[in-house]
Chain A
Amino acid sequence: MLQKSKTENSKAVITIRDVNKSFGDYHVLRGADLDLYEGENLVVLGRSGTGKSVLIKIISGLLKQDSGMVNVLGKDVANLSPKELLELRLRIGFSFQNSALYDSMTVRENLEFPLVRNRKNLGKAEIAQAVETVLDAVGLSQTINQMPSELSGGQRKRIGIARTLILRPEIMLYDEPTAGLDPITCIEINNLINEVQERFKTSSIIITHDLTCAKAVGNRIAMLLDGQFQRVGTFDEVFDTADERVTPFYDYNFIQE
């Protein structure tokens, strides 16, 4: 296994140790270990069905691991009470693969929803201001009164990210942010992920198959192979190998520089 190139002098905001998760006979995670350091963008790569999305669902408490420890912002996720879990979730943003915008609500209502429910002390003007700020951050102020069905795939992704940002999370989890998008929109989303890291000072895990995205946004790359993070490091460190489980990713996506 490669030595992980830790972001200088940062503390870990997520610590994953010896995590196992099975679905029936299918053993997805087999003793996975990983750290996410404060302020970094960590890209998780791996084949489909290897447990990448399962991992971030475990981190956010949507799924429970069979064994092992997942510590997020100093809290052991598996042992939190429902109230503590809700409090922790306010500090984590989750951008879903298909955006998961509420179909029956306009963009404005989608963005207001987490605020109205979790920041009860805020007045109407403050909520409107917060909505404008995040919409401006993702560059989609003009869509405020549109329904999700009227938006393009890229716009939906951006609004999904805006909805998670409105609660000012410390950690962002992106599940395949560029999946199904055209190259230009992919570049826009990559730039947005970097802007979010810089502007909102978030630490992020980005799940993707897209190596262009991985290279553009990742401070570190972690490759999930056979249920474990067997290669963790910078982009060049991870792909400097003849391992046949790794090289197809590079060969398919790139680009010989």
Chain B
Amino acid sequence: MKKIVTRISQRFTNMFLELYRVHLFILKFFKEAFTAPFEGREVLRQCYQVGYRSLALISLTGFITGIVFTKQSRPSLAEFGATSWLPSLVGIAMLRTLAPLLTALISAGKVGSSIGAELGSMKVTEQIDAMEVSATNPFSYLVVTRVLATSITIPILTFYTAFVALLGAFVNVSTNESTSFSAFVQSFLESITFLDITASTIKAIVFGFTIGMVGCYQGFHSSKGTEGVGKAANSAVVVGMFLVFIEEVIATQITFLFRT
């Protein structure tokens, strides 16, 4: 019994210590982000990397989701003779939830793991120490740039996903009805509000920040050895996705408060 109590208390202590370290890591990010020198070129390079790594997969996933979602929704709407609502339905679903969530999950898998593995490998091979002894702040150069890049790029990718999904939806709609693309887009635009766009943008920024931060934290704190690198990459994906889902629930609740 005593052993179990000791083990549980040890787990709680470790959990709180980890939370404390995460808290310090986030605070350090904000401190370094607003301290000179600003690594503008590296941020741009990382933005390109984040976008480039995810673009193909996001295009494919978004397009297929658009087609499938429209195809699955059609029978239900057809029962009420409301297939003309398809553009609005797909648009709202995509913009409010699916596009930010799909983009974040794909980015957590592609970008988060890559950041975790890259920084983990740099840590294990002492490249981060090498950077530090050559009078370069590795936190500013490696962490701040990557977190800013994911926070900037993932919102852009989110709107791209929504656009590609709409194209997919249009492909499905146009094979069943004689709707022009402009009429389709018009119907979609009429159904969305400023709140939808604002909420999705803020949500995507938060998702991007989370994915970048988790990847960097796991990589920066990976233990020595190749096993540590693997763990860092894996944790970056698992923890990143888990947090994205929690944030999605919270964001939906907050958005509904504004809507009502």
Q: Which residues of A contact B (CB under 8 A)?
A: 57, 60, 62, 86-87, 89-90, 92, 94, 96-98, 100-104, 113-114, 117-118, 163-164, 167
Is B197 part of the contact surface with A, judged by Cβ < 8 Å? Answer: no
Q: Which residues of B contact A (CB under 8 A)?
A: 118, 121-122, 125-127, 129-137
Q: Are B135 and A100 in contact (CB under 8 A)?
A: no
Q: List 15 A-B contacts (CB under 8 A).
A: A62-B133, A87-B135, A92-B133, A94-B134, A96-B126, A98-B126, A102-B131, A103-B122, A104-B118, A113-B136, A114-B136, A117-B134, A118-B134, A164-B134, A167-B135
List 17 additional A-B contacts (Cβ < 8 Å) besides A89-B133, A100-B126, A103-B125: A62-B132, A62-B133, A86-B135, A89-B135, A92-B133, A94-B129, A94-B134, A100-B125, A100-B129, A101-B127, A102-B122, A102-B127, A103-B122, A117-B134, A117-B136, A118-B134, A164-B134
CB distance from B93 to the nearest CB of A (A): 39
Q: Which residue of A lies closest to B132 (CB)?
A: A62
Q: Are A114 and B134 in contact (CB under 8 A)?
A: yes
Chain B residues, Cβ within 8 Å of A87: 135
Q: Which residue of B lies closest to A90 (CB)?
A: B135
Q: In the complex, what distance in Å separates the CA atom of A90 from the CA atom of B134?
A: 6
**Known A-B contacts A100-B125, A103-B121; A94 and B130 likewise in contact (beta carbons under 8 Å):** yes
Q: Which residue of A lies closest to B126 (CB)?
A: A100
Q: Are B133 and A98 in contact (CB under 8 A)?
A: no
Q: In the complex, what distance in Å separates the CA atom of A98 from the CA atom of B124?
A: 10
Chain B residues, Cβ within 8 Å of A92: 133
Chain A residues, Cβ within 8 Å of B131: 102
Q: Are A118 and B135 in contact (CB under 8 A)?
A: yes
Q: In the complex, what distance in Å separates the CA atom of A247 from the CA atom of B134?
A: 37
**Known A-B contacts A98-B126, A100-B125; A60 and B133 likewise in contact (beta carbons under 8 Å):** yes
Chain A residues, Cβ within 8 Å of B135: 86-87, 89-90, 114, 117-118, 167
Q: Are B127 and A103 in contact (CB under 8 A)?
A: yes
Q: Which residue of A lies closest to B136 (CB)?
A: A117
Q: In the complex, what distance in Å separates the CA atom of A98 from the CA atom of B125?
A: 7
Chain A residues, Cβ within 8 Å of B136: 113-114, 117-118
CB distance from A179 to the nearest CB of B (A): 13
Q: In the complex, what distance in Å separates the CA atom of A103 from the CA atom of B120?
A: 13
Pairs A-B, 3 closest by C-beta atoms: A100-B130, A114-B134, A94-B133
Q: In the complex, what distance in Å separates the CA atom of A103 from the CA atom of B229?
A: 15
Chain B residues, Cβ within 8 Å of A90: 135
Q: In the complex, what distance in Å separates the CA atom of A54 from the CA atom of B126?
A: 14
CB distance from B115 to the nearest CB of A (A): 13
Q: Are B127 and A62 in contact (CB under 8 A)?
A: no
Chain A residues, Cβ within 8 Å of B137: 86
CB distance from A205 to the nearest CB of B (A): 13
CB distance from A63 to the nearest CB of B (A): 10
Q: Are B134 and A167 in contact (CB under 8 A)?
A: yes
CB distance from A132 to the nearest CB of B (A): 19
Chain B residues, Cβ within 8 Å of A101: 127, 130
CB distance from B163 to the nearest CB of A (A): 32
Chain B residues, Cβ within 8 Å of A97: 126
CB distance from A82 to the nearest CB of B (A): 8
Q: Are B129 and A62 in contact (CB under 8 A)?
A: yes
CB distance from A39 to the nearest CB of B (A): 22
CB distance from A116 to the nearest CB of B (A): 10
Q: In the complex, what distance in Å separates the CA atom of A92 from the CA atom of B122?
A: 21
Which of A62, A90, A92, A117 neighbours the largest number of chain B CB atoms within 10 Å of its CB? A117
Q: In the complex, what distance in Å separates the CA atom of A98 from the CA atom of B130?
A: 11
Chain A residues, Cβ within 8 Å of B129: 57, 62, 94, 96, 100
Q: In the complex, what distance in Å separates the CA atom of A98 from the CA atom of B127?
A: 9
Q: Which residue of A lies closest to B39 (CB)?
A: A117
CB distance from A256 to the nearest CB of B (A): 37
Q: In the complex, what distance in Å separates the CA atom of A102 from the CA atom of B126?
A: 9
Q: Are B127 and A113 in contact (CB under 8 A)?
A: no
Q: In the complex, what distance in Å separates the CA atom of A98 from the CA atom of B137?
A: 21
Q: In the complex, what distance in Å separates the CA atom of A94 from the CA atom of B129?
A: 10
CB distance from A110 to the nearest CB of B (A): 9
Q: In the complex, what distance in Å separates the CA atom of A22 from the CA atom of B129?
A: 20
Q: In the complex, what distance in Å separates the CA atom of A77 from the CA atom of B194?
A: 55
Q: In the complex, what distance in Å separates the CA atom of A117 from the CA atom of B39?
A: 10
Chain B residues, Cβ within 8 Å of A118: 134-136
Which of B121, B126, B129, B135 neighbours the largest number of chain A CB atoms within 10 Å of its CB? B135
Q: In the complex, what distance in Å separates the CA atom of A185 from the CA atom of B126?
A: 22
Chain A residues, Cβ within 8 Å of B122: 102-103
Chain B residues, Cβ within 8 Å of A164: 134
Chain A residues, Cβ within 8 Å of B132: 62, 89
Q: In the complex, what distance in Å separates the CA atom of A158 from the CA atom of B238?
A: 40
